[in-house]
Amino acid sequence: MAEEKKTYMPQSGAGLIRYYDADEKGAKISPYLIVGAAAGFSAFVVILNLLG
Q: Which residues contact 9 (CB under 8 A, 6 or more apart)?
A: 16, 18
Whether the predicted pLDDT of 24 surpasses 90: no
Rg (CA), the chain: 20
Distance (Å, rounded) from C-alpha 5 to C-alpha 22? 15
C-alpha torsion sign, points 34, 37, 40, 42? negative
Under DSSP, the state recorded for 2 is P
Question: What integer is the mean pLDDT of 1-13?
Answer: 63
Enter the pTM of the model.
Answer: 0.51
Q: For all residues of the chain together, what is the average pLDDT?
A: 79
- Is residue 27 very low, low, confident or very high in pLDDT (cuts 50, 70, 90)? confident
Whether the predicted pLDDT of 36 surpasses 90: yes
